[in-house]
Amino acid sequence: MTPAPADSIIAFAAAADLPAGKTVAPGDLSRIGVPPGLVPAGSPDSEKAYEGKQLAAPLRKGQLVTDAQVLGPGLLAGSPPGSVAVPLRMADPASVQLVSPGQLVNVVLTSGNGLEKPGESQILAEAVPVLWTSVQGGKAGTWLAGADTDGLIVVAAAADQARRLAGASTQGKLFFVLVAAPPG
């Protein structure tokens, strides 16, 4: 029997489990009372603040909602200024099941066919964070509903990385390598 906290403020949380790509509709968010220090930056000021916007990641029932969880400027929240979201189609679509939003990856381009043209690999971007994947919980996401999203990931990239990544899949096969966050 723990006494209720003396002070609480209103925050907004998912009213039910919500999949990535879902357009937030009336009733998807609910008011909850939380201690003042637990409300994260970027929290909405009403249940309607994110209505009509798509979720960038799945939310569990009761999970507090912030601007970083919806598509648009909030998807890149916390990324360095000038970052852009870059979609990439991986050569092995099944590999996308190994990565989830927030993980850091190196993006590798492999060209050549291994026969008359030797295969060469080059790193196009190092330690870029994954923003979205086409696989959410083993099922295709609905962010790009109706489109062919098999093997697609979206990463946050700096301008110079984005130039190397844009259209790279037309030059060869793209793969990712999971990397640890740099120390510090």
Which domain-ending residue is among 20, 53, 77?
77
Residues of the domain holding 34: 1-77
Measured distance CA(90)–CA(134) in Å, rounded: 11
In a domain, 184, yes or no: no
CA quadruple 128, 102, 21, 11: dihedral positive or negative? Answer: negative
Same domain? For 157 and 91 the reply is yes
pTM over 0.85: no
Same domain? For 94 and 154 the reply is yes
Phi and psi (nearest 5°) for 155?
A: -120, 155
In a domain, 37, yes or no: yes
Same domain? For 113 and 97 the reply is yes
Total domains, the chain: 2
pLDDT digits (tens, 9 = 90+) for 130-153: 988 887 543 444 444 444 567 889
Same domain? For 172 and 89 the reply is yes
pLDDT digits (tens, 9 = 90+) for 95-110: 999 998 889 999 999 9
